[in-house]
Amino acid sequence: MRNVCVIAGGQNLWGVRQATQRDMIQEAGKACFEDNPIIKNKDIDGFIVGACHTERCSFQTHLAPQAAECLGIKPVNLCCRVELLCATGSTGIIVADAMIRSGKADVVMVVGVEKLYMPQRWEIPFSELGTCDHEFDCTNGMGLPPPAFATVAQQHMKLYGTTEEQLAMVAVKNRRNGLNNKKGQMQKAITLEEAMSSRTIVRPLKLTDCCPVTDGGAAIILACEEKAKDLTDKPLVYIRGSAQGTQHQMSANFNNGVWSTWDTLRIVGEQAYKHARVTPKDINVAQTHDCFTISEIVEVEELGFCKKGEGGPFVQEGKSDFGGLVPVNTDGGLLSCGHPFGGTGIRQGIEIMHQLRGDAVKQVEGARIGLTHNLSGLISAHTVLIYGRDME
Give the residue numbers marked as catalytic.
86, 339
Cα 344 from chain centroid? 4
Residue type, 147: P
122 binds other proteins (CB under 8 A): yes
CB of 152 to other proteins, least distance (A): 10
- Interaction residues for other proteins, span 253-312 (CB under 8 A): 253-254, 256-257
151 binds other proteins (CB under 8 A): yes
CA distances from 362 to 47, 151, 358 (A): 30, 33, 10
Taking CB under 8 A as the criterion, the residue among 84, 110, 148, 375 binding other proteins is 148
Longest dimension (CA), the chain: 56
Taking CB under 8 A as the criterion, the residue among 27, 83, 133, 301 binding other proteins is 133
Residue 146 or 358: which CB sits closer to other proteins?
Answer: 146
CB of 246 to other proteins, least distance (A): 13
Kindly tell me the sign of the dihedral angle through the C-alpha atoms of 324, 383, 161, 333.
positive
61 binds other proteins (CB under 8 A): no
DSSP 151-162: HHHHHHHHHH--
Q: Are 347 and 218 in contact (CB under 8 A)?
A: yes
Taking CB under 8 A as the criterion, the residue among 42, 61, 135, 392 binding other proteins is 135
Taking CB under 8 A as the criterion, the residue among 13, 30, 146, 164 binding other proteins is 146
131 binds other proteins (CB under 8 A): no
Taking CB under 8 A as the criterion, the residue among 80, 98, 101, 147 binding other proteins is 147
Residue 131 or 320: which CB sits closer to other proteins?
Answer: 131
DSSP 333-354: HHHHH---HHHHHHHHHHHHHH
Omega of the bond leading into 145 within 30 degrees of 0 (cis): no
Taking CB under 8 A as the criterion, the residue among 13, 196, 250, 391 binding other proteins is 250
Q: Give CA–CA dist 11/180, Å, rounded.
A: 15
DSSP 110-130: EEEEE----SSTTHHHHHGGG
245 binds other proteins (CB under 8 A): no
Residue 75 or 340: which CB sits closer to other proteins?
Answer: 340
Residue 93 or 202: which CB sits closer to other proteins?
Answer: 202
CB of 365 to other proteins, least distance (A): 40
CB of 117 to other proteins, least distance (A): 14
Q: How many residues lie near other proteins (CB under 8 A)?
A: 37
3-state secondary structure at position 275: helix
CB of 210 to other proteins, least distance (A): 9
Nearest to 282 by CA among 273, 290, 291, 292: 273
Taking CB under 8 A as the criterion, the residue among 251, 330, 376, 380 binding other proteins is 251
Q: Segment near other proteins (CB under 8 A), from 78-86, 106-114, 142-150, 288-296?
A: 142-150
- Interaction residues for other proteins, span 100-119 (CB under 8 A): none
Q: Give CA–CA dist 392/305, Å, rounded.
A: 21
Would you put residue 312 in left (φ > 0), alpha (ψ -120 to 50) or beta? alpha
CB of 204 to other proteins, least distance (A): 9
Residues 191-220: x where in contact with other proteins by CB under 8 A, - otherwise, as a string? --------xxxxx---x-------------
Q: Are 306 and 281 in contact (CB under 8 A)?
A: no
Q: Which helix (H) or strand (E) holds 205?
A: strand 205-206
3-state secondary structure at position 391: coil
Residue 58 or 151: which CB sits closer to other proteins?
Answer: 151
At 86, give phi and psi (nearest 5°): -65, -20
CB of 15 to other proteins, least distance (A): 17
Residue 27 or 128: which CB sits closer to other proteins?
Answer: 128
